[in-house]
Structure 1
Amino acid sequence: MIQHLRASLPWLFRAVGAVLLYLAVLHDLPGPTALGCVIGFLVGQEPLSDLWFLLTHRLCGGWLYSASYGRGRTLWSGSVAGVPVELGLRPTSGFLFPWGLLPVRAPRLRVWLVSVARFGVHAGLGAWLAASATELPRGIGLGLLFSLAMTAVTSATSPVNSLWAVFVMPFRPGSVTIDAESPSAVEAERFLVRGRISEARRELGKDTPMVLTAAGIALAEGHYEEAERLADEAFERGHTPADSAVAFIAAMTFVGRVDAGEHSPARAGALLEPYLVRLGVHDRTLARDFLPAAELARFQNDPQAAVRMARRLSNTVGSRFHRSLACCSLAAALIAAGRPEEAREALARARRECPELARIADVERMLEPVEAAR
């Protein structure tokens, strides 16, 4: 319930802020101050947070797996300082930075100092500007303070740059180092993001593997029993069912087993739906960017909805591995919709994104009875 509500909190804050600003303007708030409120709120949400994260994440042992900006079709992809980077066609409010923690000295103290400084700088800058005698800076300060309140609430359980890190983490020994990774695990994750599975597996074998990275590689290789075991291990290590990364791997492992013939497609929908609910995916509209929801639509004999969701996800920015999986889901939905030629095109795209993905062969086998019947 809390996770479900948290997804709506940013929109609630924006709506409340818009109403308050409108009422303030009606009560003779100067135009420059109102404009400053909007500017401060927009800057304080993502650009300021992104800049602070980039400047400080290495101080507390953070390493980026990848970076992406925008949505829709990929305009550019490459690597910056060893980090895979993608830019999308449609702009968004901020960057997406998947990341993990490496073992460092005094990690909790580092995270605490970075988080305190982040809130202190944000609050101090906002308060200083709000107390300014001029109209535009005062508005920017008020907008920064409002965005700080939204950030504090919506990132309440984040391990870095959150009120949780400031007030709760110091009293929970080991809470930050529980998921500490090795440098080779970070490199393995970066290879997986690029869709280079064999290189990811090779890099993973150099050191103690990170559970989620190992589970993703096992899923990509079609080792579904191993992927399922590792996802269960991630739950046991403290990941909550609402953790989208664990939920994604666990659900797509089930889908992979269906496509590989290990589970009956006729019963897949009835099995997957309660499974997704248990993982925290309660609402199909909130899960529209969650690939297993497209598979649920396919299993529930709604291939057109599955095609729409999977097509959108096959064009998203971020990871070649995830796009390849989405292309396979699109192909499977197109087969169910009686469109085998389009399904072959989707599989060709999946192979370009991630040539070694085991699921491609499983979905191709689904085409064989369709083509034999033609």
Structure 2
Amino acid sequence: MIQLLYRRLTAASLCTGVLLVLVLVDRLHAPWATLGFLLGALLGRERLADTWLLLTGRLAGVRFLIVRYGRGRLLWDGRIAGVPVEIGLWPNSLYLYFALVPGPALRLRLWLSSACYFGVHAGLGGWLALSADGLGRGVGIGLLLTVVLRLPRPDTSPLVSGWALLVMPFRADWLGQHLWKPEAVQADRLLSTGRIAEARALLEGLEPGEYPLAHLTPAGLALVEGRYEEAEQIAADVADRGYAFHTAHLLIGMAFIGRADSGEFSPERAGALLDPFLVRLGIDDRKLYRDFLPTADVARFQNDPETAVRVARRLSTMAGSRMWRAQACCSLAAALIATRRPDEAGKALARARKQCPGMVRISDVERMLEQPVGARPVRG
């Protein structure tokens, strides 16, 4: 019932707010005010929320797994307060991968975080729109527009969203699906930075228990250690229970690819499994969807290695952690092998080993490099 009311309320507020902002924008005749409006809309779209999350997230029960700003070649790679932080050469939006850990009054803290965020966002925008002139007034109206657009967004994020503000207080059964065990958070940080042995040591004997999302770290560990069937089963269990749809399916897809590169599956069988799998995720044109790594390997399995090279090369610098960049480098190397460019493939594998030493897929693709194209044995 509350979700139905939320949809109706947000639809009405969206229409009213957009009309109001359009009227205000129509009154912005000065070029500086128009420029300010564009800047305010850019600032309020994601950057203000990301900054708020970075500054206040820990108070709301957030633990960051990895923080990255920029893409391309790394300029700096280190840790701040125990969190892996990376800065890339080309500026873009922040990449914030985070988890929620159990704690006292967590629901109240999450609600207060969202309420304060929208209060600051709308308050700053309203103050600038009413009291400033020119550029400042334009920025204020741009911020107000992004508040109006963000409130009805139909996601179920526990942080700085209209859903968290208006619906979460009435969903007592909802919060548990977003919680992680603190030990799994630290293990995921280690795995993301390519420290496989340390992640394994922390996870040994650790049962995720009541927090299903914590299963994704053992699934990721199984993937990099070459236990592909186990990784697939763990991730499928998480997805079947309705959690972390995108991440779980990414792990399942990469398990299919690992089984193909190891020789357990033929490329034809892997492609047949992956193609409908991607369609179920809404990815029906791999040439347009460039940011989901399995699309590169589907292209390779379906005899389109040039598309595979293009997608994997992009993700080999853009992926959000060392472990996933190593996976992308392996996909790139396999595609380069298929295009008969062994020297470039060797360099891609060297980059993968630097990012995540000990990942089994690196050795599997290296064996492919040592064999003629089409001569690789298949076990099943």
TM range (shorter): 0.7 to 0.9
Question: With structure 1 as the length reference, what TM-score do the two structures score?
Answer: 0.87
AA paired with 1:223?
R
Asked if structure 2 preserves the Cα contact closer than 8 Å seen for 1:60 and 1:104, the reply is no
Q: RMSD of the alignment, in Å? A: 2.5
The reply on whether 1:229 has 2:228 as its aligned counterpart is no
AA paired with 2:341?
R
- In the alignment, what sits opposite 1:47? 47
The reply on whether 1:326 has 2:325 as its aligned counterpart is no
Once the two structures are overlaid, the 10-residue window that deviates more, 326-335 or 149-158, is 149-158
- In the alignment, what sits opposite 2:99? 100
**After TM superposition, what 4+ stretches of structure 1 lie above 6 angstroms from structure 2?**
none
Question: What CA distance in whole angstroms lies between the structure 1 residues aligned with 2:273 and 2:192?
Answer: 29
Question: What CA distance in whole angstroms lies between the structure 2 residues aligned with 1:151 and 1:74?
Answer: 32
- In the alignment, what sits opposite 1:77? 77
How is 1:310-325 mapped onto 2 (pairs within 5 angstroms)? Answer: 310-316=312-318, 318-325=320-327
- In the alignment, what sits opposite 2:171? 172
Once the two structures are overlaid, the 10-residue window that deviates more, 204-213 or 72-81, is 204-213
Instruction: Specify which of 278, 286, 289 is matched with residue 280 of structure 2.
Output: 278
Cα separation, partners in 2 of 1:111 and 1:129, compared to 1, 3 Å: same
- In the alignment, what sits opposite 1:122? 121
Asked if structure 1 preserves the Cα contact closer than 8 Å seen for 2:125 and 2:142, the reply is yes
- In the alignment, what sits opposite 1:146? 145
Question: What CA distance in whole angstroms lies between the structure 1 residues aligned with 2:202 and 2:328?
Answer: 25
Question: What is the aligned residue count?
Answer: 352
Cα separation, partners in 2 of 1:24 and 1:125, compared to 1, 3 Å: closer
Unaligned ranges ≥5, structure 2: 1-13, 209-213, 376-380
1:155 CA drift (Å): 6.6
1:295 CA drift (Å): 0.4
Asked if structure 2 preserves the Cα contact closer than 8 Å seen for 1:76 and 1:87, the reply is yes
- In the alignment, what sits opposite 1:309? 311
Unaligned ranges ≥5, structure 1: 1-12
SS of the residue corresponding to residue 372 of structure 2 reads helix
SS of the residue corresponding to residue 65 of structure 1 reads strand
Cα separation, partners in 2 of 1:307 and 1:68, compared to 1, 3 Å: same
Aligned-residue identity in percent: 53
How is 1:1-374 mapped onto 2 (pairs within 5 angstroms)? Answer: 29-92=29-92, 94-132=93-131, 134-154=133-153, 156-205=155-204, 207-209=206-208, 210-239=214-243, 243-316=245-318, 318-370=320-372
SS of the residue corresponding to residue 77 of structure 2 reads strand
Question: What CA distance in whole angstroms lies between the structure 1 residues aligned with 2:103 and 2:350?
Answer: 43
Question: With structure 2 as the length reference, what TM-score do the two structures score?
Answer: 0.86
Asked if structure 2 preserves the Cα contact closer than 8 Å seen for 1:74 and 1:316, the reply is no
1:352 CA drift (Å): 1.2
